[in-house]
Structure 1
Amino acid sequence: MATLNRLVAATDLSAPARHAVDRAASVALATGAALHLLHVATPAPIERLRRLAGQIPPDLEKLMRDEPGGALNGLAHAVQQRHGLTAQVHLASGPLLQQLREHADTVDADLVVLGARGASFMRHMLLGSTADRMVSKATRPMLVVKQAPHERYRTVLIPVDFSANSLRSIRLAQAVAPGARLILLHAFEVPFEGMMEYAGVQTDQIQHYRTNARREAQQSMEELRVQAGLPLESTPTLILHGDPSLLLVQQEQELDCDLIVMGKQGDNAVEDMLLGSVTRYALAQSQCDVLVSV
């Protein structure tokens, strides 16, 4: 099983972004990992104000530059008061993604925790190219927090494709959410199914292909469950026919999951394209937190 030793929680110091810090603290307490709080300041607002005002009084500029450090220390104090956990604080300046990656590398983080919403960059974390870059360039597991944490993770949905990434996702789920109920989901479609329907292939023949595909998936699911050491009686498995993105979000809501754990890519170019789109869809459309394994 994977272990967590160091967590980095990135925050823009807004009220919504504190959900990510609280969740990171909850995971740190559950796993015994050390917690690092990171705020990446950008000079852009001060530079814009300077362009508008022409000149900023030195005292005011110093106050604006010092404020993030004080707020970050205040957040660490709140974590101590609320969770009884001492967090190390780090203030950086520069491009967000670059600073986040560099700091995660410096402390050798096992998990990076981000808020889905915030006052500035976090607000856009799940939208457009920023999310794509975060997922495609992530070299460490990334937890995107969408909900205020009221308790530890209880029900975790893990979409699997039976590649090596599937086992990694299971191990990561066990590490981040110890004691949670794990549900394995595999969504399948017959290759060229839509084309066959358009070409007039008989419905019963297509159904025969679906039956074979389901049987193959059931065998692979059982092999994965055994390989992961998951008990049969307490590990629900779902094998459903249809669009993977839509089924993932549908099952997340029907099963009242509070975490989705999934890989960012598959074992070949086709799977890379498919799972990349499913991951992005989950980040944008799911209600619960999303943990992306690498």
Structure 2
Amino acid sequence: MPGKIVVGTDFRAEADRAIDRALELAKEWNTEVVLVHALDPALGDPPTRGELDKRMRSVLPDSDIKVTFRYPIERADYAIASVAKEEGASLIVLGAARFNSMKDFLLGTAVDYVIRHSPVPVLVVKTRATARYRRIACATDFYTPSRVALEKTAELFPKADFQLIHAYHVPFEGWQKAEYVKKDVEKAERKVFDEFLEEIDPETRKRVTTHLVYGSPGGALRKDIRESETDLLVLGTHGESALRHASIGSTANELLRSLPIDTLVVTHSAEHA
């Protein structure tokens, strides 16, 4: 079973959704939660321990889950990743900073830093925790990080079903408009997709449905989320390069901002977490 869950809070309303989801997962996994509020030394003298404990208890709903409070004296972005390492956590849970007038979720620098440096998967929560994750969409470009992301997520959510999505396009499409070219490309992509599936462990493969979609990764994922009531999106990344080299390319940051569902980011190094 997974280990501890680390969840960060700055006492804003957006963090409450992350806390609720962390508690729901802790109940499902029979584990405990470490609730982190970082005390930035640049902001002056911190409140007393008693004041902090009272504030922490005020954001916790009634629950039988064991919750430990941590108050590292460090910037939030450094602190959350550090606590996860110290606690031997299996997951970090964070809330999106806020929702702006352009219908985008603003992640904030702390979320971006944690994603790039976390030793474990990072769950960015945008929705209320009304039910377990049951239908999960995983983007793939057939490279190792996307396989690792799928297998790691399958370990964390053993009862969920998976949609494995790969989007493709015709190279130099403006000059290659013949229908047979598109069909040849689709056939080649399907062959690679089948080979990729053979690399996935058999138990995980039983829970996977594949979607080969013509178009952009962002468009393919939006379509799947809209049509299949997806609960969670999974993105695989290349370690510290994270969002700049995500397994679905440069669209990862945009997907994190724009898609209105919770997103799990799994780094290649998380394979051994």
* TM alignment of 1:105-254, pairs within 5 A: 105-117=85-97, 126-127=107-108, 131-190=111-170, 193=171, 196-198=172-174, 200-201=175-176, 203-204=178-179, 206-224=181-199, 227-230=201-204, 232=206, 235-254=208-227
Which amino acid in structure 1 is aligned with residue 90 of structure 2?
Answer: D
Secondary structure of 1:158's aligned partner: strand
Q: 1:68 to 1:132 in 2, by over 3 A?
A: same
- What pairs with 1:20-31 in structure 2 (closer than 5 Å)? 20-31=18-29
| Percent identity between the two aligned chains | 24
SS in 1 for 2:166: strand
Is the 1:8–1:113 Cα contact (8 Å) retained in structure 2? yes
Query: CA–CA distance in 2 between the matches of 1:24 and 1:212?
Result: 42
The answer to whether the 8 A contact 2:123-2:263 is kept is yes
Q: Which structure has the greater CA radius of gyration?
A: 1
Q: Matched residues in 2 for 1:230 and 1:65: separation?
A: 45
1:65: Cα distance to partner?
8.1
Aligned counterpart, 2:11: 13
1:56 corresponding residue in structure 2: none
Q: Deviations over 1:126-175 (max 9, x none)?
A: 15x55543333333210111111011112111112233323322232223
Distance 2:255 2:114 in 1: 14
Letter in 1 for 2:69: V
User: Following the alignment from structure 2 to structure 1, what is the Cα–Cα distance between the partners of residues 49 and 69?
Assistant: 16
Report the Cα distance in structure 2 between the residues aligned to 1:66 and 1:277, rounded to whole angstroms.
45
Q: Given residue 203 of structure 2, which amino acid in structure 1 is its aligned partner?
A: G
The CA deviation at 1:202 is 5.0
Give the direction of change, closer, same or farther, for the CA distance of 1:96–1:14 in structure 2 (3 Å limit): same
Structure 2: distance between partners of 1:44 and 1:180: 43
Specify the SS of the correspondent of 1:20. Answer: helix
Q: Distance in 2 between matches of 1:135 and 1:37?
A: 18
SS of 2:18's partner is: helix
**SS of equivalent residue, structure 1 residue 293:** strand
Between the aligned partners of 1:109 and 1:157, the Cα distance in structure 2 is 24
C-alpha contact (below 8 Å) 1:265/1:276 kept by paired residues = no
Q: CA RMSD in A?
A: 3.1
Contact 1:12 1:118 in 2 (8 A): no
Gaps of 5+ in 2: 268-273
Question: Could you say if the C-alpha distance between residues 99 and 134 of structure 1 is closer, same or farther in structure 2, counting changes exceeding 3 Å?
Answer: closer
The structure carrying a bigger helix percent of its residues is 1
Name the counterpart of 1:282: 255
Distance across 2 between alignment mates of 1:167 and 1:139: 17
Equivalents in 2 of 1:171, 1:214: separation in Å? 21
Using the size of structure 2 for normalisation, the TM-score is 0.81
* Structure 1 CA distance for aligned equivalents of residues 208 and 52 of structure 2: 45
Asked if the contact 2:5–2:93 (Cα under 8 Å) also holds between the matched residues in 1, the reply is yes
1:14/1:118 contact within 8 Å kept: no
Paired with 1:184 and 1:273, the residues of 2 have a C-alpha distance of: 16
